Amino acid sequence: MSNTIKFTKKIIESLDIPKTRTRYLSDEVKGLCLEVTKYGVKSFRLRYKINTNSQTFTIGKFPDIGTHQVITTDFQS
């Protein structure tokens, strides 16, 4: 099962609370994901690589950070 979804407010609000931490990938932005914990906390994160080291940057929690804001942010800077 693929966990790639479109990041819209309606879709994210409708996600079920999982039994274990679950990661949903953005279908629009490479490396952008939404992690949902077993407690229902939804956090936007950006996964990237520097040389051979994988890194994760936590952007913020949903709904404090909106989906439009996350998708349109330029993370290259």
pTM, full prediction: 0.85
pLDDT at 73: 77
Return the exposure string of 46-66: e unless at least 16 CB atoms fall within 10 Å of the residue's CB, then b: beeeeeeeeeeeebeebeeee
Alpha-carbon dihedral sign for residues 77, 28, 58, 54: negative
Query: pLDDT (tens digit, 9 = 90+) per residue, 2-44?
Result: 699 999 999 999 999 999 999 999 999 889 999 999 999 999 9
Phi, psi at residue 71, to the nearest 5°? -70, -35
DSSP designation for 65: S
Q: Which domains does the chain have, with CATH numbers?
A: 4-71 (3.30.160.390)
